[in-house]
Structures are given as C-alpha cells and as structure tokens.
Amino acid sequence: MGIYRSDQAQLTFAAEAVQGGDPEMIEGTLVGSGGAGALTADTSAGSRTISIDGNSNTFTIGDFIRIGTVDGTYASTVIEHEVRRIEAMAAAGGNSTNTFTLDRPTAFFHANNEEVKEVSALGNDDARHADNNKYITFIPGVYETVDTPDPEMSIEGRRFLSTTSKRNWAVAYPGQQTLTGSLSGITLLNGWPLRFPIGQVASLPSSVSGSATITINQSPDGARKGDTYMIVSTSHGLNDNDYIAIYDDGSLAATKVEVRRVVDIISTNTLKLNYPLQFDHIHGAGVREIAAGAYYTHTINETVDLDTVSWHVHMKESTENSALTTTETTLNTKNFDRRYIGGMIGSATISAEEGGMLGMSWDGVNFLNMVHNQANQSTVGTASGDDYDGASIEANMPRYGLMQQIDADDIGMPSHNGNTANTGVGYPTTAPYYFSEGTIKFFGTEFARIRSFSLSISNGEEPRYYMGKQGARARGPYEIKEGAREYSMSASVALPDANKQAGATIGGSGDALVSQDTATELFKQLLLEGDYGAGGGSEYRRGFTSTLKFERGNNDSITIDIPPEADGTVGSPTDGTDNTNQLNKQGIFINSAGHDISGENPFQVDLDMIFRSLRITIVDSVPVYP
C-alpha cells in the first residue's frame, strides 16, 4: 500500500497573462445532450464572467464548460480553448440564465461566437491533443520544501444572547480566507524565477538568420499577451522547431523582445508557439528566425505591474500506481494535484555565501484561489449538494476543477511537437552558479572581499477583498495589488589590503575624486552618506554603484547592476547614464557598517544598505523564459 511522500512531490510554475488566469488548453469530454451555446461578445483574457446565446442553453450551476471552438484538424481555425466551472448564473439581454460567473478568470482571449460546451471529465475529443497544451511546466531550480498556499480559513465563533450559551459561543461562521505560500532555498540553475518579483524579461538572441521582413500580420490589434497562435506575413520561410525572436519598435534591441519555438505551421502563415506570449505585439511587429548555436541575453527590467504566476503541485503515492491509462484519457484517482492561481511574488531574496551556491527564495507569495482534483468526499453529496444543486457532475467539493496533471515527462520549458503529446525539455542540466564565481564592485572597483550577501526585494503587495461573486465557499482575495517597492542588501565583507589604489572620477571635468585608496574606504563611505561634495557648482548626494556578477563560463553569467545604469563608472548629473543626485537616479546608501573588533582576520565589516533600483542580466543558452 502506497503513501504520499514529500520526495515524490513536484512543483512547477508558469507566468499568467492576467492575474488568476492559469494557462492551459484542455478539451474535456463532451456531455451528450449537454449544454451548448456561443459567446455573444469578444471576451478578454482575465474575464470572470461570460455571456452566451440562449438558443440551446441547458447549463446548470456547477457544470464544467469548455470555452473556445475546437477544430479537430486545426487546419483553418486558430483558437485557444480552456475549461472553467460555472459558479453562478444570471439572466441578461432578455435570455434566461445565460451570463455565467466562472470559478477563475479566463487565460485567453475569445472572440464573439466562439462555442461554449459542457464537458464532464478530463479527456479529449481528439487523441492528439491529450498532452500537448500544458504550459505550467517550468521549475524554479533545485528546491527541497514548499510552503503550499492552501486556504487558511478564519472560522469564528459568534455569541448570541441566549440562556443556553453557558458562556460559550453559540454558532461558528466561516469568514475571510487567505492563500499565502513560499518557496525557500532555491538553487538557481538558470534565471527563470528571477524576474517575477521585479518585472519583465527581454530575451535577445546573439544572432539571427533568414528573412528580415517577417512581420506579425494580425489586424487590427496584433498578437495579444497570452496568445499561443500567431499569424505572420505569408513569405516567412519558417519551419517546425525553429526558434524565433518577436520584437516591437523596429529593433531586436527593443525592451519588448521575446523568444518562442514554432511547434507547428498550422496553415500558410499561422504559427503555433510552444508557450504563450509575454507581451502584446503590434500589427507589423518584427519576427526573425534565430541562428543555430545562438546564445541569449535576458534582461530583467523593473515594471510597475508585476506578472503573476500559477503553481501546480503534483503528488503520486509511493507505489506510483497513478499513471494515466494507456489511452491517456482517464486520470487515476490516487494522484493528488493542486493548482494555485494569481500568485504575486511579494517578497524575495537573492543570496550567496562563501563555499556555497547562488540561491533565491520566494519569501511571500499571495494567491487569489486554488483548484484541486479531489472530486469525491464521503460526507458531501453529489449532484444534490447545496453548492451545486442539480449540477450534472459527480462531485460537490468546493474548488474542484478539471486540469491536466503535470507528469515527469512534461517538466521544463514546454517543447511540444505539432499536435502530438508534449514532452518537456526536462530538468536543466546546467551547473549551479557558485559563490566562488562571484564578484562585487563599488564604483567599478573591487575594493572589498565579500563573504556573503543577501539582497531583499519587497513589493508591498496587498490582497484586496471586494464585494462580488466568486466560487462556492471561495472567500479569498478578489485581486492583489502592488504597493511601494523597497530594496535592501546586507553583506559581510573582509577588508582589502591596506594599499593605495587609484581613485575614481565622479562626473565630468572638475568633479571630485572618490578615494578608493585604503582598506578604510567602507568607513569613509559610511560617513559620507553618499554626498561627494560640490562639482560643477552643484552639491551631490548620489550614493554609489555596485555590480554583482556570477560567471559559469563563456556567455554564461548572471549580473546584478545597482542602479540599472551602473557600468563601472560614475556618470555626470546631466548625462543620465549612471547614478546622480537627480530625482529617481540615486544609487546605494550605507545605513550601517559596524567596524567591530570581533576577532575576524582579515578585519570583517557587516554592511546594511538600501538602494532604489536594479537590473538583472542573464546570459545563457536557454531560449524561452516564462
């Protein structure tokens, strides 16, 4: 008899195009004589309600529905499709009960007249599509434990005036729910998890080939964030399995450039991609084929609005008798799967210490909701339960949802292959980033020997609870909003040799010199408070720059620049190339640098610093970043 073991659990993640829209295309098994209809308007990704025509509407609260037309051949119809559950129904436009509240937001755009059909189980109408549309397959790195964000209930006893209470509460009512998790101790094998507490990633290939005139040919809106299909100009010359760079602004160096793999040429100029788009791309945006042997520069830049993530936790019991059947249409009930949606990485830490490896933690992640695959529970009625009274389903469990399990062969960057089963590229085979490969520089000069550092990011996120319908018994947040962003860094450094070194020039001609000449430089920086005196008639309080770099080999590194413009020099206050005394352009400031007599030799100083902005650049051979 098997048991559930922690070491046989698996966590994967993916970016969401909209908060709470977990990206996955599944078809389900159509219900004979079940509900059927069509959308009455364009429906954007992130929609919590849909409206359908009332011509053949036999849906019931609790039904699972497939939104999006499924073309069995994919020869002419290019449509994303997904499964959601009806949580409430209302009349609209003169028809009865044809506006549905969904259990979670939609992940894809759906056009007017796309079909909506009732499905009853996780299956597929066409066997080719059983496994090839899974996207929640990325792993954050090497990890050992997960604090899962299962709902935390606030059930409270309330006291009525009653002669029978005897000082005890009279009745218990459930209240607000929170879903908060964390993922600690990630050993980084690539840069996949780095962007989510910071912003967006632009991926630039080192070389391209083929036509320079391929463009996105979708009118009038172009390609949408979250799309997995893209229409390009007819004479594109692309083939299945080609990697392409998609970019706006007429330049591959644009901030909105991303890399995707072509998994199928649907028709003359319609491409199916291996992963949903991260950006909106205008009609006429450029597309270039990537040359063989290219490497990639992934630049993570700050954004105001953060992308959210879906987590999927997949567990098998220890004997692993929980695989799909040979036809891969029926899931064994021994699998224990949970999916958490709308996760915002509110706080994170990047750290390393001597003798160790570069690591990261997602310290605080708030989620909107969860769904799971536990359909049956002995104390809950089936179709006659209070939550889904009369529903044509065999379960009445809150938050039960239809979703694909993420198998071991799905792990990693989604590979896909046309319309056949997905096989992920697997776990990263790269080595970790070692502390011994890291350097830290102030003003472009390495003047301290760092023993450890910890860089903290806080987004001040706040879950918001609004009046409005959600899933049955779901009283979690309606949305999560970013607050003030704060960075801090602590480091333990051994002071360098007490030898004179050349100073660095601040600003242009006539500016003062930063003295980096002795092992007492950190002490001087503490006292200066980032104020380096007058230069060119102005007073400067600008802070200093820092660069942390971890190199694994040629064209294989992670670099953290503080501030983003740091390039090893100190810019003038007018050129905008580096930290200055101007508003929003300052660098790092030291809050404390205790030069304690602790018995450490060489002399060691523990630093606490704050700064306002950063940029992370990863160079590697991984083409697709989530």
Domain extent at residue 111: 30-120
Residue 416 included in any domain: no
Q: Kindly state whether residues 169 and 244 are assigned to the same domain.
A: no
pLDDT digits (tens, 9 = 90+) for 531-540: 876 554 445 5
> What's the whole-number mean pLDDT along residues 135-148?
92
Q: Which residues contact 129 (CB under 8 A, 6 or more apart)?
A: 25, 27, 70, 419
Residue 388 included in any domain: yes
pLDDT band at 73 (very low <50, low <70, confident <90, very high): very low
Residue 84 has pLDDT above 70, yes or no: yes
CB atoms within 10 A of CB 237: 10
Contact 362, 182 (CB under 8 A): yes
Residue 485 included in any domain: no
Q: Kindly state whether residues 285 and 399 are assigned to the same domain.
A: no
User: By C-alpha distance, which of 393, 300, 547, 342 is closest to 61?
Assistant: 393
Q: What distance in Å separates the CA atoms of residue 576 and residue 573, rounded to the nearest whole number?
A: 7
The count of domains in the chain is: 4
Q: What distance in Å separates the CA atoms of residue 310 and residue 557, rounded to the nearest whole number?
A: 27
Residue 563 included in any domain: yes
Residue 89's pLDDT is 84
The proportion of the chain whose per-residue pLDDT surpasses 70, expressed as a percent, equals 78
Q: Kindly state whether residues 608 and 513 are assigned to the same domain.
A: yes
Q: Kindly state whether residues 314 and 287 are assigned to the same domain.
A: no
**Lowest-pLDDT range, 42-46, 68-72, 384-388?**
384-388
Report CA dihedral (565, 570, 573, 576) to the nearest 10 degrees: -20
Q: Kindly state whether residues 333 and 184 are assigned to the same domain.
A: yes
Q: Average model confidence (pLDDT) for the chain?
A: 81
pLDDT band at 517 (very low <50, low <70, confident <90, very high): low
CB atoms within 10 A of CB 74: 20
CB atoms within 10 A of CB 494: 16
pLDDT digits (tens, 9 = 90+) for 177-194: 889 999 999 999 999 999
The proportion of the chain whose per-residue pLDDT surpasses 90, expressed as a percent, equals 37
pLDDT band at 573 (very low <50, low <70, confident <90, very high): very low
User: Of 120, 138, 162, which residue is a domain's last?
Assistant: 120
At 360, is the secondary structure helix, strand, or coil? strand
Q: Kindly state whether residues 355 and 252 are assigned to the same domain.
A: no
- Paired tokens of 20: 């709470």
Q: Kindly state whether residues 393 and 439 are assigned to the same domain.
A: no
Helices (H) and strands (E) in the chain, counts: 1, 36
pLDDT digits (tens, 9 = 90+) for 448-469: 678 889 999 999 999 888 776 7
Q: Kindly state whether residues 508 and 610 are assigned to the same domain.
A: yes
Residue 430 included in any domain: no
Q: Supply the DSSP symbol for 325.
A: P
Q: Kindly state whether residues 504 and 597 are assigned to the same domain.
A: yes
Which is more confidently placed, 56 or 120?
Answer: 120
Residue 61 included in any domain: yes
Residue 450's pLDDT is 80
Residue 550 has pLDDT above 50, yes or no: yes
Residue 222 included in any domain: yes
Contact 389, 97 (CB under 8 A): no
Residue 571's pLDDT is 37
Q: Kindly state whether residues 281 and 338 are assigned to the same domain.
A: no
Q: Kindly state whether residues 591 and 510 are assigned to the same domain.
A: yes
Q: Kindly state whether residues 543 and 570 are assigned to the same domain.
A: yes
Inter-residue long-range contacts of 271-274, CB under 8 Å, 24+ positions, other chains counted: 271/229, 271/230, 271/231, 271/232, 271/238, 271/244, 272/74, 272/228, 272/229, 272/416, 272/418, 273/227, 273/228, 273/229, 273/230, 274/413, 274/414, 274/415, 274/416, 274/624
**Do you know the residue count of the chain?**
626
Residue 417 included in any domain: no
Which is more confidently placed, 42 or 601?
Answer: 42
**Strands laid side by side in the 438-442 sheet:** 199-205, 296-302, 615-620, 556-562, 546-553, 438-442
Q: What distance in Å separates the CA atoms of residue 434 and residue 557, rounded to the nearest whole number?
A: 11
Contact 98, 65 (CB under 8 A): no
Signed CA dihedral, 213, 217, 220, 224: sign only: negative
Q: What is the pTM of this model?
A: 0.89
pLDDT band at 394 (very low <50, low <70, confident <90, very high): low
